[in-house]
Chains A and B, each alone.
Chain A
């Protein structure tokens, strides 16, 4: 293509069109803050880890179980708690190794993959926590049902129900609440990371298309 080669000639000869930056200005730039997407992903990810770890530690169920005289459930919940801690540590380890791997000196495709993987880890952590919350809610509900004397009215009602009307109603309400909750969360994340990563993921798709 003749035009492109004309441009190439001009391009390579071109040394005067830029206002040259002095050494002093470069020194100053070195001490300024980066505003790269990776930096923001790191900050937001750490906040997410802190938030969710805080939530899972904060919702300590021990007191609640004692109140309800459900000590026999204690051992299971203890196991669940330790498993939960192990999973959190594993996520943190993955996140850290992913983050360290990100380097501007690898190929563009590799760099994009590394960034997207790092973010995926955090996303999985959030989904894991949401899942845990869901499981805890179900366990909580069952425990209430089994041990809380105040709920005997409902139990009676279910027992006297022809068919399963009441229990279906309860399950429906709980499901709707959970789904609404999940959708709000999902939208929030789409927005948050969409804003940060839109350009990167578009470019990644574009690059992958070339290699198809």
Chain B
């Protein structure tokens, strides 16, 4: 019984691993820390898995646990660095369909996001994942109105970072 639970967990996590990777990329600055956080999130997901009853999609459930781990449970400090250093970030910008100018803008934008604090990153993450404000509010435990207000402030902050 427990073996099939483990199998089903591993299979689903493998299929949805980019959710976790994207959070790691946002919250860490080198590949060692990335792998470290990935592992911690995996452990936390596995610990919480018995409570996952399939009411929501695995991915919806997983990104909440993963975010909670990155913001709350993960112990090692992850300082934000201005320069984009490691591979997972480099690859991100080398997508064929973007021209050089767009690539440059993307890079700057991503660097700006990296300078936000943990909570702001969580909001941006969910925004990038196209979650609606109701879901963002519920995940963080704040009101929907305040989630919206905060997101607008973050946008303002990003503009300021981009145009100092």
A residues contacting B by CB (< 8 A) are 1, 3-4, 6-8, 10-23, 26-27, 29-30, 32-38, 40, 103-112, 115, 196, 198-200, 202-203, 206-207, 210-211
Contact = CB atoms under 8 A, between A and B. Distances in A.
A4 B126 CA distance: 12
Contacts of B105: 3, 6
B158 A108 contact: no
Contacts of B129: 11-12
A10 B95 contact: yes
Interface residues of B, number: 75
B72 A13 contact: no
Contact of A110 (B11, B89, B141): B141
Interface of B: 6, 9-11, 13-14, 17-18, 21-22, 25, 38-40, 42-48, 51-52, 61, 64-65, 67-69, 71-77, 87-89, 91-93, 95, 98, 102, 105-106, 108-110, 113, 117-120, 122, 124, 127-130, 138-143, 146-147, 149-150, 155, 158-159, 162
A111 B38 CA distance: 20
Contacts, number: 178
A11 B121 CA distance: 14
A70 to B, nearest CB: 50
Contact of A29 (B42, B93, B130, B150): B42
Given A8-B130, A26-B42, A203 B118 contact: yes
A16 B110 contact: no
B118 A29 contact: no
A105 B88 CA distance: 27
B43 A107 contact: no
Given A17-B88, A206-B117, 10 more contacts: A6-B105, A27-B6, A36-B40, A36-B74, A107-B139, A107-B140, A199-B75, A200-B72, A210-B146, A211-B142
Nearest to A212: B146
The prevalent SS among residues of A at the interface is helix
The 6 A-B residue pairs with the shortest CB-CB distance, nearest first, are: A109-B141, A107-B141, A17-B91, A18-B21, A36-B73, A11-B128
Contacts of A23: 10-11, 14
A14 B51 contact: no
B38 A21 contact: yes
Contacts of B159: 1
A35 B75 contact: yes
Contact of B106 (A1, A10, A33, A103): A10
B64 A210 contact: no
Contacts of A202: 118
A36 B147 CA distance: 27
B69 A207 contact: no
Contacts of A17: 21, 25, 87-89, 91-92
A1 B38 contact: no
A105 B10 CA distance: 18
Contacts of B155: 1, 4
A110 B74 CA distance: 16
Most-contacted residue by chain B among A20, A110, A200, A207 (CB, 10 A): A207
